[in-house]
Amino acid sequence: MSVNFEQARFAMVEQQVRPWDVLDPRVLDVLHVLQREDFVDAEYRNLAYTDIALPLGHDEVMMKPVLEGRLLQALDLNSQDDVLEIGTGSGFVTACLSHLAREVVSLDIHADFIEQAKEKLLAAGIRNVRLECTDALTWQNDRRFDAIAVTAAVTNIPEIFAQWLKPNGRMFIIRGLSPVQEALRVTHRGESLHEESLFETDVPYLHGAEPKPSFTL
């Protein structure tokens, strides 16, 4: 059965994303415009606008549209912002960030994700993204960013992530133990970090940031 993607995209924004308190018109406009079906694996293309986390491989998933909307809104981006994305995944959030910011640097540990995202972003005419295949937890970088989007969960926030924030920079990150994790907006204020709890969710962990196994006798 063929899907009218234009209608499905409109329904996703108006019936899923907006009711979940995503009201920033810039974010809604980006989700209305970008063709999410082009970033989904072919076998799941007809499910691109459904309220489910779609498999990507490597036990990773594509965030639900409502999570993508809340992430984008939480970062409060403008056209002069430089953004670091940790976890390229499908490349769809990368594309959204690229429309809202000046430049996006996106990291992923999986080389095939990086290659596929590169092809999809180029096909969409997006040129302000730099992709790197690397482990974010060991990435060597002296640059600072206006915003950081972490698209997978962590048990605890790595100190290095906060060091990559500029003063007044914002980071969206999901922290905690599955199945009850907490989405946070972390803001770099002066010499300290301010955490704001946004909502509860449950997503796969960033490679290397999973909870340590606990052993009981």
CB contact at 8 A, 131 and 125 = no
Bridging pattern class, strands 145-154 and 129-133: unpaired
CB contact at 8 A, 202 and 178 = yes
pLDDT tens-place string over residues 198-209? 999 999 999 999
Q: What is the pLDDT of residue 56?
A: 95
Q: What is the pLDDT of residue 217?
A: 54
Burial 151-185 (b: 16+ CB within 10 A, else e): bbbbbebbeebbebbeeebbbbbbbbeeeebbbbb
CB contact at 8 A, 65 and 12 = yes
Across the chain, which has 217 residues, the per-10-residue mean pLDDT values are 93 98 98 98 96 95 98 98 98 98 98 98 98 97 97 97 96 97 96 95 96 72
Q: What is the pLDDT of residue 1?
A: 66
User: Which residue range(s) make up the domain with 104?
Assistant: 5-201
Task: Write the CATH number for 180.
Answer: 3.40.50.150
Instruction: Indicate whether 207 belongs to any domain.
Output: no
Instruction: Indicate whether 211 belongs to any domain.
Output: no
Instruction: Indicate whether 216 belongs to any domain.
Output: no
Residue 140 has which token pair? Answer: 């060597």
* Distance between CA atoms of residues 12 and 27, nearest Å: 13
Q: What is the pLDDT of residue 216?
A: 57
Q: What is the pLDDT of residue 190?
A: 86
Q: What is the pLDDT of residue 170?
A: 98
> Domain total for the chain?
1
pLDDT tens-place string over residues 134-160? 999 999 999 999 999 999 999 999 999
Q: What is the pLDDT of residue 191?
A: 84
Instruction: Indicate whether 210 belongs to any domain.
Output: no
